[in-house]
Amino acid sequence: MENWGVLTYYCAITLIIIAYLLGSIPSAVLIGKKYYGIDIREHGSKNAGTTNMLRVLGKRAAIPVFIIDYFKGFGAVMLTSLMRYDDSVSDGWLINLRIIATFAVVLGHIFPIFAGFKGGKGVATLLGAGTGIFPPIVLLCFGVWSMVFAIWNYVSLASIVAGCCYPIFVMIFSTMTYNPAEALVSIPFIIFSWFVAIMLIITHRKNIRRLRDGEESKIYLWAKPEDKENKQAKSE
């Protein structure tokens, strides 16, 4: 970093600002208002994210929100790849810039400047950003998420468990690929992964209370088991 010139700093700061602005695109709010005539932040859990869209408006509304939020995170991180063309930016600092961009894009999603600084929890955006940093770990976390959701049908529980697995997978992969020359790459990534896990728990603290009290809503991507039984009984 000590070899960076003014132009390098300018480009890096610009990319971080762009990451925040990308995160601030309030997809859930925009889709809810334009196509359904509601502000999703006034319904359900009052969270401007995929889960609340699914709960309140259904799959047709939730899927595009997830896709947009995912690619906000992925795009913000991949834009930092432009810095690899600057010879003064090492591979270690390229990883660091991706991590900083992840913070910026998720911060933009949670506190969007285009929606009164009231957004969502940033899980889909974080998933996209994580894919941009290191895809294999995100795929493993998605596998954990899918398994937990398939068994218990709680999106919040699945997100929390997958998030807590994230630093474990990062540490495993860092141990497998670690060598002293990669210290700048591995150590910030490990710290970042633990921060992600802690923040997911903090942002889901209300969900944790509802899970503890048995008040958390389940979400079914397909018909509920009892609905299938009722439909079969009617057909008979």
pTM over 0.95: no
Residue 8 has pLDDT above 80, yes or no: yes
In whole angstroms, what is the distance from residue 161 CA to residue 182 CA?
29
Sequence-distant (≥ 6) Cβ neighbours of residue 106 within 8 angstroms: 23, 73, 122, 125, 126, 129
Contact between 58 and 40 under an 8 Å Cβ cutoff? The reply is no
Between 18 and 217, where is the model more confident?
18
Alpha carbon 167 to chain centroid distance? 15
Please give the Cα distance from 171 to 141 (Å, whole number).
Answer: 13
pLDDT at 188: 83
| Position 236 confidence tier, pLDDT thresholds 50, 70, 90 | very low
Q: What's the burial of 79, exposed, middle or buried (CB within 10 Å: 0-12/13-18/19+)?
A: buried
Per-residue pLDDT at 176 exceeds 50: yes
The Cα 26–Cα 139 span in angstroms is 25
Residue type, 182: E
Beta carbons of 24 and 115 less than 8 angstroms apart: yes
Amino acid making up residue 23: G
Q: How many CB atoms lie within 10 A of CB 200?
A: 21
User: What confidence tens digit (pLDDT) does each residue in 187-216 have?
Assistant: 888 899 999 999 889 988 989 999 999 988
Statement: residue 100 has pLDDT above 90: yes
Apex 85 CA angle, 81 and 90, nearest 5: 75
Number of alpha carbons in the 13 Å side-chain half-sphere of residue 75: 13
| More confident: 226 or 27 | 27
Helix (H, G, I), strand (E, B) or coil at 193: helix
Count other C-beta atoms under 10 Å from residue 87's C-beta: 8
Domain boundaries, the chain: 1-133, 134-236
User: 154: helix, coil or strand?
Assistant: coil
- Looking at this protein, which amino acid is placed at residue 172? I
What is the spatial distance between Cα 105 and Cα 113, in angstroms, rounded to a whole number? 12
